[in-house]
Amino acid sequence: MAFILKEKWTTQFRDADPDGLLGMRGLMNSFQELVGKYQLSLEIGVNTIYPRYGLVWIYSKFRARLLEKMPYGQEVEALVWTEPQTSAVRITPVMEVRYQGRLAFQGRLEACLANLDTGAIARIAQIGMDQEIFGEALEELPGFTRLPRKLPQGVPAREYRVGYSDLDVNRHMNNQRYIPLFLDGFDRAFWEAHPLRELEIHYLSQSYEGELLTVLRQDEADGSRLTALKEDGTPAANAWLGWGEPV
């Protein structure tokens, strides 16, 4: 029987956008945290698998779509589960968020196991994840796409040096920190005119304390492609940010 984490929580002021509403940025914070809680509930959280196996979870891709922004201070409900396993080394947890009974957000991430000391990828079977916990596929949310590693017409949008507060237990820049990194490639006036509705990020190489990242941006009709480059030109992460009409 599929294991589903059901969680109700009150949206936080710290996650709200300048318009006072909870949007993609805040919901992606909750997505990562609730997937972590889901893993803890299954006893496959990092606090269990690292001492036992020397392994940690690496989130390599995110994809999400926002259907409705929500006021902060309101109760929302989230469901988290894992789609059917199709790879020996990857799983795909998903989340849906509802506000006042309406579907407001859907997200999917790709997760794999890695040895913290060597970086080697491990098989999911190594931690004894029961096949019965896997649930249904999230059919409404399209799968991951192929994001280009290089932007032929990309222009510099910002620079950022990785600091101590960016690091997580894996000792590299936390994946969640790339979301504001890419969002800050635009100003408030831009986001007021182009509300963020879709996000996809692929993490390609780890960034460490002291490294300088340069964000390149290439705008298109309905969104923008971005890449965060390390000083040697290696892409750390690529993203697609898609926008729609204000609601």
What distances in angstroms separate CA 156 from CA 2, 136, 192, one per listed residue? 45, 41, 21
| pLDDT given at position 246 | 47
- pTM reported for the whole predicted model: 0.92
Please state, in angstroms and rounded to a whole number, the distance separating the CA atoms of residues 215 and 158.
Answer: 5
First to last CA, the chain: 38
Nearest to 121 by CA among 176, 169, 174, 57: 57
Q: Is 230 left (phi over 0), alpha (psi -120 to 50) or beta?
A: beta
Beta-bridge mates of residue 78: 7, 97
């990194």: which residue's tokens?
Answer: 181
Using pLDDT thresholds of 50, 70 and 90, give the confidence band for residue 245: low
For the structural domain made of 1-141, what CATH number should be given?
A: 3.10.129.10
Say yes or no to pLDDT of 231 above 70: yes
Phi-psi domain of 119 (left: phi exceeds 0; alpha: psi -120 through 50; beta: other):
left
Q: In the predicted model, what is the mean pLDDT of the chain? A: 93
CATH 3.10.129.10 in the chain, residues? 1-141, 145-247
- The CATH number assigned to the domain with range 145-247 reads 3.10.129.10
**117-164 tens-digit pLDDT:** 898 999 999 998 887 889 999 999 999 999 988 888 889 999 999 999
3-state secondary structure of 8: strand
pLDDT digits (tens, 9 = 90+) for 93-102: 999 999 999 9
Give the chain's radius of gyration (CA, Å). Answer: 18
pLDDT at 2 over 90: no
Q: What is the pLDDT of residues 9-48, one digit of tens each?
A: 999 999 999 999 999 999 999 999 999 999 999 999 999 9
Sequence-ordered alpha helix ranges (H) in the chain? 24-41, 46-53, 178-183, 188-193
The pLDDT confidence band at residue 62, using thresholds 50, 70 and 90, is very high
pLDDT at 247: 47
| Res. 244: pLDDT tops 80 | no
pLDDT digits (tens, 9 = 90+) for 198-215: 999 999 999 999 999 999
